Amino acid sequence: MRNYSINKPAGRPSGGKNVMRTPEEKEDLIKEWEASGLGERPFVECKGIARSTFRKWVRQYYNGGLKSLSNETGKDGRGNRLAALHTSKHLSEVQRLKLELLKKDIEIERLKKGYMVRGDGPNKEYVLLDMKKKK
């Protein structure tokens, strides 16, 4: 039977910061680990990296090289490409139309899934639609 300590918090300590690394930074860490001769566990503890994350990087690097280490978000990716449009006050006509079209597409997908949004901002409420046809 396992002994779970109440005093020891699970996961990352409170107040920790997510670190987004570029593929080059990840490659440098992998090469540093290979050259160090250390085991995986002492190396990641020294660097403050989650062991599972580091293992994923190593596997990706060995299977696909530097290109496979890139993210879709963060330093080396696009992230939410329309977030800037949504918060920008000065949009060109094309940007404004793209944003409007995206909002309509999102609304269509919501309706297909059977719910709609009522309210705005922090008062948003997701309401399930009654999918049964009433006669």
Is 11's pLDDT higher than 60?
no
Helices (H), 37-90: 40-47, 51-64, 83-87
Rounded CA-CA distance 122/70 in Å is 34
Q: Taking the CB of residue 43, how many other CB atoms lie within 10 A of it?
A: 19
Pairwise pLDDT comparison (121 vs 101), residue with the higher score = 101
Q: State the average pLDDT over residues 14-42.
A: 86
Q: What are the extents of the domains in the chain?
A: 23-69, 83-128
pTM of the full predicted structure?
A: 0.48
Residue 108 one-letter amino acid? I
